[in-house]
């Protein structure tokens, strides 16, 4: 496994593979790796010839400076995990390498960035769009691998890829979960033992809501039931619990299973503060 720090090093190392018509897979991360990330790596290894994992805590996607400061950084441990997975390259740039000057470019993803996460994290998806486009230009992957847990991020990047004609295939991998259902996240390590138990309300509520919807219950009745469930849980503050179309993130108030043209057309999305840790999750229907 080789560690690359600069754009020039990436170009020098990867050009030979492209000339040999070998495919390059990219797994973009912000580090603090867990089994969910490693699952993305395994998919990349199965589907491409050369795997590059990027580790970069992108400052432009944090609307809260305190959140950026608290974001876990475990580079030594991350590199050990990636070496065990026999990753070919790790792109580990400094902020100055990715942003030699402040970025003046801004993305506007329309309604897609103003709902759900966008409503609570203004500017977040502009930062995501800028850094992912930089990574695509630097690494030029044939396939890029993302987790379904970040459903809105996936939708944002898919729109960027389509609108700007990036020559990259997005591979979306189902959410990796702990045995009790909690979605794997780098933020989970910040939960106290008590909050770790409280955090299960996210997945439990998603499963309950899906069951109720598929049983024919009206969405607003289901939503009220879930809101009441959160209100009874001390130390947990619900930000949103919404039913959406999976690809467009359009908020909807009902589903018609009999008219679905494709599987998993709808998803339920949620975000909540558990103690002082903000967690997100979603479940396809």
Q: Are strands 50-55 and 266-274 parallel, antiparallel or unpaired?
A: unpaired
Separation between Cα atoms, residue 3 and residue 54, nearest integer Å: 10
Separation between Cα atoms, residue 222 and residue 201, nearest integer Å: 15
* 260 known member of a binding site: no
* 278 known member of a binding site: no
* 187 known member of a binding site: yes
DSSP string over 29-58 = E-S---HHHHHHHHHHHHH-SEEEEEE---
* 247 known member of a binding site: no
* 153 known member of a binding site: yes
Q: Residue 168 region, left (φ>0) first, then alpha (ψ -120 to 50), else beta?
A: beta
* 34 known member of a binding site: yes
Catalytic residue IDs: 37
Which residue is it, tokens 């740039």? 93
Q: Are strands 50-55 and 24-29 parallel, antiparallel or unpaired?
A: parallel
* 185 known member of a binding site: yes
Q: Which regions of 69-112 does DSSP assign to beta strands (E)?
A: 89-91
* 234 known member of a binding site: no
Assess contact for 97 and 5: CB atoms under 8 A: yes
* 32 known member of a binding site: yes
* 160 known member of a binding site: no
H or E segment to which residue 279 belongs: strand 277-284
* 123 known member of a binding site: no
* 170 known member of a binding site: no
* 31 known member of a binding site: yes
Residue 245, judged by CB atoms within 10 A of its CB (0-12, 13-18, 19+), counts as middle
The binding site for beta-alanine consists of 61
The binding site consists of 30-37, 61, 147-150, 153, 184-187
The binding site for ATP consists of 30-37, 147-150, 184-187
The binding site for (R)-pantoate consists of 61, 153
């Amino acid at each position: 496994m080789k560690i690359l720090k600069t754009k020039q090093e990436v170009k020098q190392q990867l050009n030979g593979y492209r000339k040999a018509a070998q495919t390059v897979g990219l797994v973009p991360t912000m580090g603090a790796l867990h089994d969910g990330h490693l699952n993305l790596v395994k998919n990349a290894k199965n589907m491409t010839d050369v795997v590059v994992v990027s580790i970069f805590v992108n400052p432009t996607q944090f609307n809260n400076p305190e959140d950026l400061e608290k974001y876990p950084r475990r580079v030594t441990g991350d590199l050990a995990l990636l070496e065990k997975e026999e990753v070919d390259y790790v792109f580990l740039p400094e902020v100055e390498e990715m942003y030699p000057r402040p970025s003046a470019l801004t993305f506007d993803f329309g309604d897609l960035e103003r709902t759900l996460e966008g409503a609570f994290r203004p500017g977040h998806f502009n930062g995501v769009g800028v850094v992912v486009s930089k990574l695509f230009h630097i690494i030029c992957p044939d396939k890029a691998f993302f987790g379904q847990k970040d459903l809105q991020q996936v939708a944002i990047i898919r729109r960027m890829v389509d609108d700007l004609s990036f020559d990259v295939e997005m591979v979306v991998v189902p959410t990796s979960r702990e045995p009790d259902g909690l979605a794997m996240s780098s933020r989970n390590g910040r939960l106290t033992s008590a909050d770790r138990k409280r955090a299960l309300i996210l997945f439990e509520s998603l499963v309950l809501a899906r069951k109720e919807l598929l049983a024919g219950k009206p969405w607003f009745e289901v939503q009220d039931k879930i809101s009441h469930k959160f209100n009874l849980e001390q130390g947990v503050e619900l930000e949103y619990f919404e039913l959406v179309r999976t690809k467009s993130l359009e908020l909807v108030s009902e589903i018609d299973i009999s008219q679905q043209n494709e599987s998993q057309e709808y998803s339920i999305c949620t975000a909540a503060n558990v103690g002082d840790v903000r967690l997100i999750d979603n479940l396809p229907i």
